[in-house]
Structures are given as structure tokens and as C-alpha cells.
Amino acid sequence: MECCRYQLIPALISLIFLCPLAHGWGVDGHLIICKIAQSRLSKSAEEAVEQLLPGYADNDLSSLCSWADRVRFRYRWSAPLHFINTPDVCNYQYDRDCKDENGEKDRCAAGAIHNYTTQLLNYGKSSQSDYNLTEGLLFLSHFMGDIHQPLHVGFASDRGGNDINVRWYTRKQVLHHVWDNNIIETAEQRFYNEDVQELIDAIQHNITTEWADQVKTWEACSETACPDIYASEGIKAACDYAYKGVEEGSVLKGKVAHTVNKVYFYSVCLREFLKLNLTADDYFLSRLPIVNLRLAQGGVRLAATLNRIFG
Ligand code: ADE
Ligand code: ZN
Ligand code: ZN
């Protein structure tokens, strides 16, 4: 029995690490969004973030952007705040969709963004001590990332793609995990020397070139935070790109090496038009631009929100 206990404990520990529950972009997605955001902070927001971060973070917000995922067992109440489910429709309405599985209102990613924004507006006031604003900053930074992951605003019936089995190249995966992790990981391996900083640099470059004209529109918000805009875009991207062409168990199968060129894109369009199975490569290369765009928007909007909060 003693021998079994010694084998059981490491086995359980590795199970926990091998089977992370899907609760957001993977670590790299959140890290990318927070790195982009911190590089765009105003002087006063930069100072507030530095004050609020614990000393061990060494003034690096990105090092704690997945903190909300790590505390989801300690703070069980926080689990529904990582996502939004629609009743299987391609649009989002706060009053209809922002609730938890018990129907409790405001308990979704958009409600959480409003809540932590409101709390952080107490920064520097005498009411500051009523709240834990360090946790507020970490929750806001994380949920701003989650709401930009298209399948975090997904269909209730498949739990944002968590119940859709696919094959990602040679591995079995659920569609939700493909969007949290695999597309980013595969991009890093194939195009960025396995170096997340190279991917961040590429996205930052696009923000100042290809997307420069759109950045003001991304930032626009008539209140302090505008999560409903991001959630509406999210479910649309989920329908148009994440769910599109995907059928339970029958997709992303073979592996075909393509180069990214016009012929490739026409072949993808034709395949989709003819409703043929998408290969993992088809799916990866055609969805990667959406992942890059959502990471950029997440970072730009987190910075814009923190800049509005801290003045
Ligand atoms: N659990 C249930 N729905 C979910 C979603 N859309 N994203 C992540 N986790 C979920
Ligand atoms: Zn999350
Ligand atoms: Zn997730």
C-alpha cells in the first residue's frame, strides 16, 4: 500500500498538469496581450500598475496575467467569469447572455470587466482600502484577454468548443484548446523560432503598420470599459472562423504542407465552398490571422482601459 501511495501522488500531480481545464487563452496568449498592453500605458497608468503589482512581479504585468487561471480552484466563484455563452446564436446580448449556469446575472467575462473596472476607479481614493485592487488589476487584465478569445464567447451547447473533438495534426484535441493554445504554439514553432517574444514583436509591428489606421477604432469607448463590443465581435469570429467548417471528429485530419500564397488561399476557399474536410494546415493558416488580430486588439484595449481608469 505504501508503495502505491508514493506512485499515486506523482501520478495525480502530473494528471493535474497534463489536463488543464480550459479557462482562457493559454499562458502565451495572456502573456502576449499583457506585454502589448504594458508597452502602451500612459505615465499615470504605468505608475499605478507598478504600485499595484506585487514586488515579486518585478513590474512585469505579463508575469501575472494567468494568475486568474491559477486561482480558479481557490476562488471557485470566479470560474464563470472567464467566458460568455450564447444560446447557440451568432450574436451577443448582455441581458440575455451575461449570467452563470444558475442564471445569476452579471456573472460572465463582460460583467467581470465592468466590476473590476469600477473597483479600480477607487485607486488613489480613501475608498481604495475597501477592495483588493491588486487582484482587481490581475482579474481585469486576464478577463480582457479571455473576452478576445473567440471561443470564450461561444455556444452554450458545446461549452465554447470544449465538447467538440478534433484532431490537431497528429493529436486528439478539443476545438476550444486549439484556440486557447495550439494555433499560437504552432505559429511559434513554425514562424518564430519557438520564441514568444518574436511573435510579440511581429504583432507590435503590425499594430504600427498594417493595423495603424484601425487602432483608434479599437480603442474607442464611450464609457471606461466596453466589453459588450468585444463580446459581440467575439461570437461573430467564433461563428465565422472557429466553428466554421468544423464538424465533430471529422475535421483537421490529414496534414498537407502548403505555402502561404494566393493559390493556397484559393484552395482553402474552394475546399470550404465544396464543404470538404479542412486539414489542420488549412485551418491553422487561415485562422492564424484572426488569432493575431484578437491578441493585438486585446492588448491595445487593455492598455486603453487602464489609461482611462488611471487617468
Ligand atoms: N465553459 C463553458 N463555456 C465555456 C466557454 N465558452 N469558454 C470556456 N469555458 C467554458
Ligand atoms: Zn481565463
Ligand atoms: Zn479557454
The pLDDT assigned to 23 comes to 64
Cell of 264: 493556397
Among 21, 108, 176, the mutation site with the greatest number of ligand 1 atoms within 8 A of its Cβ is: 176
In a 3-state reduction of DSSP, which class is residue 198?
A: helix
Count Cβ atoms below 10 Å from residue 248 Cβ, excluding itself: 11
* Cα torsion 213, 216, 220, 224: sign: positive
The pLDDT assigned to 285 comes to 97
pTM of the model as a whole: 0.87
Strands 153-155 and 165-168, bridge-based pairing: unpaired
Calculate how far, in angstroms, residue 246's C-alpha sits from the geometric centre of ligand 3. 18
**Domain residue ranges of the chain, discontinuous segments joined by +:** 22-311
The pLDDT assigned to 20 comes to 43
Packed helices 280-310 and 227-237: angle between N→C axes, nearest 10 degrees: 180
Q: Residues enclosing ligand 1, CB less than 6 A?
A: 22, 82-83, 85, 151-152, 154, 159-160, 162
Residue nearest to atom 10 of ligand 1 (CA): 159
Residue nearest to atom 7 of ligand 1 (CA): 152
The pLDDT assigned to 24 comes to 77
CATH of domain 22-311: 1.10.575.10
The pLDDT assigned to 258 comes to 36
Closest Cα to residue 162, out of 153, 152, 150, 174? Answer: 174
The pLDDT assigned to 247 comes to 75
What's the rounded Cα separation, in Å, for the pair 282 and 188?
17
Closest Cα to residue 20, out of 187, 180, 242, 170? Answer: 180
Q: Low-confidence residues of the chain, pLDDT below 50?
A: 1-21, 250-251, 253-265, 273
Q: Please report where in the chains the cell 505504501 appears, as a residue.
A: 2
Q: What's CA 90's distance to the chain center, in Å?
A: 18
